[in-house]
Amino acid sequence: MHKLLTPFAAGAALLLGACASTDTLQPVPADRTFVNFSGVCHGSVNSAPLWGTALGWDRFDFSWQSFQPQRGKWNNAYLEKYCQRILAAKAKGVKFLPILDYGNGWTADGIPEQEFELGGRVYTVNRRPDGDFDVAGYNKETVNGRPERILIEKRKVSARRMSQRFVPDDQIADWEQFVRKTVTALKAEPYGVEYFQVWNEAHPMSSFWYGDMDTYMKNVHLPAAKIIHELGGKVVYGGWICGESISEFVAYLDRHNAWDSIDVFDLHYFPLAGMEYLARALKERGYEDKGIWQTELGFTAGANFIGNLYPRVLHWALENGWDRGDKYKLFYFAYGTPNDPKAYGYRRGLLLGRELNYSGRSLETLAGVLGGAPLELYGPVRSVPALKPELDERLSSLENFRVGNRIVSAVHMLPNNNAKIFVDWNGDLDTIHIDYENPLLRLKYPELDPARVAKIERVSMYGTRIDLTDRLEKDGNGSAVNVPVREPDRKEFRYTDMPENFLPEVFYTVITLRGE
C-alpha cells in the first residue's frame, strides 16, 4: 500500500510545509558546524569512536580538592595529568570545557546553619549533634486555614561532604586563588582553553551544593567570573537544573544583576522550549548575543532521543542568530557506560562498553549527513503530508539544511496513538499507518532543478541508505521525490534487547548536488 494524501492535503502542504530560504547575504561562520555544536561529558579521547567527527567538545571536572588537598599545598601532578588530557583532545580536533568544582573538603567548621526560600519552597541546613548536617526542603501550604511546611525531603549530609559542597565566607579568598591559578594554567598555550564552567548544578537539593543560592552567587559564581574575565577567559554558568523552573533562574539573575558576569547561559536536561524561553529573556534584557548551551542532556536508553532532538535544536539555532560557532551547543551525558546491567547508567551513554550504543550510532549517522561543512537553513521545502519545524519534541516535524553540496531534510513522523497512526494535523487530518506496508512521504523542492541533483538518498536513523535517485521527478520548475516512511530493513530495528514495538521516529533525505 503506497499511502499518499488527498489533493486537498497536498494544497495545505504547500502552505504549511515550507521552510524559509537561507539569506545568502549573511556571511556563514566557518565554525558553525555540527562537530563544533556537539559535545559530550566525561569523554575518553583515547577511545576511537566519534571524536572529531560527531564530537567536537569534551566537558570534564577540574577538582579544587584534588588540585589543592590542603591550604598552601598544590598537587601539580594532578594539573599536569589534566593538561595532558587537553592536549590529547586537541590532537583530535576536540576542544575542552573544564568544570571548576567543588568545595575543597578541608573543614566544615565555617559552614553556617541556614534557612532560606527558593521557588516557593523553604530549605533548611542544620548542624547535628554529631557534627554532620541535616538538609531539608519543605513546600509552603495552607492546612486547615493555617500556613504549614510540608516536608518534601530530608537528607543527612556528612561534615566531609558539606565541606565539598559549600564555600563559606572564610574560604572565598581560597576559592579565588584556586580559580586564578587554574585558569592561568589552562588558558596558556599549548592548552589554550577559552571557556570555563563555574561549578555544576548549584541548587539546595541537587547534591552538588548544600546552601542558599544567594551565597552561591556571592561566594562562588561572581568571584570566579570576575577572575576568569580578568584573565581573558569566558564564563559558562554552572548548569541550571531541570528540577527548578527557568523563570526562577531568570529572576535569580535579575536579583543579582548577574547577566554581565556570564558569557554562556547553561541549562541541564531541558526540552528545546527551555532554550527558547531563555533566549527570549536574554533578548528582553539586551543580551541576545550571549550563548545558550546545554552541557548535560540525554542520559537515556531511548534510541530516538538524539535523532528527534538534535535536528530541531540546530534548526532553531539557525533561526535565532547563530552568527558564531560557539553560540549554541549540546553536550550529551555521558560518553560511555560499562556493558554491565548492574552498572550505573547502563545503556544510557553513547558507548556501551567499547561499542557504540543506540544513541552513539544515531549521533554518528547525524554527524555523517550534517557534517563536513558549515550549516545553513535551506528552503523552501514542502511535504505531503504537511510537516513544519516544531519546538515540541512530541510533535512531528521537518527541518531542512544546506551543508556544503548537500541538502538535508530531517523528517520526524511520530505516531499519535498506540496503533502507530500518524495524523496530518497541518493538512486535512487524514491518517497514515507508519508501521504497515509501505507508506510514503512526498518531498517537494520548488526551486531545485532536477538537473542539479547528482544523487538523492534516504538515510535511516542508524545509517542504512536507499538510493532514490531514479525516483526523482520534475515538479513544475522544481523537483519532488516520494520517500519511504517505514524502515527499509526492518530487522535493523528488531533487536532482541529492544522493545518489540520500537518505532524509529526520524529519517533523513540527503540530496547531493552536481558540480558544487
Give, for all 516 residues of the chain, the pLDDT tens digit.
343 433 333 444 433 444 444 445 678 999 999 999 999 999 988 888 899 999 999 999 999 999 999 999 999 999 999 999 999 999 999 999 999 999 999 999 999 999 999 999 999 999 999 999 999 999 999 999 998 999 999 999 999 999 999 999 999 999 999 999 999 999 999 999 999 999 999 999 899 999 999 999 999 999 999 999 999 999 999 999 999 999 999 999 999 999 999 999 999 999 999 999 999 999 999 999 999 999 999 999 998 999 999 999 999 999 999 999 999 999 999 999 999 999 999 999 999 999 999 999 999 999 999 999 999 999 999 999 999 999 999 999 999 999 999 999 999 999 999 888 999 999 999 999 988 888 999 999 999 999 999 999 999 998 999 999 999 999 999 999 999 998 766 555 443 344 456 788 899 999 999 986
Tell me what pLDDT residue 13 has.
Answer: 40
Q: What's the confidence (pLDDT) of residue 11?
A: 41
pLDDT value at residue 516? 60
Domains annotated on the chain, with CATH: 7-21+378-513 (2.60.40), 34-109+157-370 (3.20.20.80)
> What is the predicted pLDDT for the residue at 384?
96
Contacts 24+ apart (CB under 8 A), 490-493: 492/460, 492/462, 492/464, 493/462
Q: Does residue 186 contact residue 83 with C-beta atoms inside 8 Å?
A: yes
> What is residue 25's predicted lDDT score, i.e. its pLDDT?
60
Distance CA 125, CA 40 (A): 34
- The C-alpha atoms of residue 498 and residue 495 are separated, in whole angstroms, by 5
| Residue 431 C-alpha from the chain's centroid | 32
Closest CA to 510 of 462, 454, 429, 437: 454
Tally of CA atoms within 13 A in the half-sphere of 40 that contains its CB: 27
Give the three cell numbers for residue 475: 515538479
Q: Which contiguous run of DSSP H or E holds residue 379? A: none
| pLDDT at residue 170, rounded to an integer | 97
390 SS3 class: coil
Residues contacting 230, CB < 8 A, separation 6+: none
Percent of the chain as helix, strand, coil, to the nearest 5:
30, 30, 45
In sequence order, what are the beta bridge partners of 154?
A: 136
Report pLDDT for 2: 40
10 Å CB burial of residue 368 (0-12, 13-18, 19+) is middle
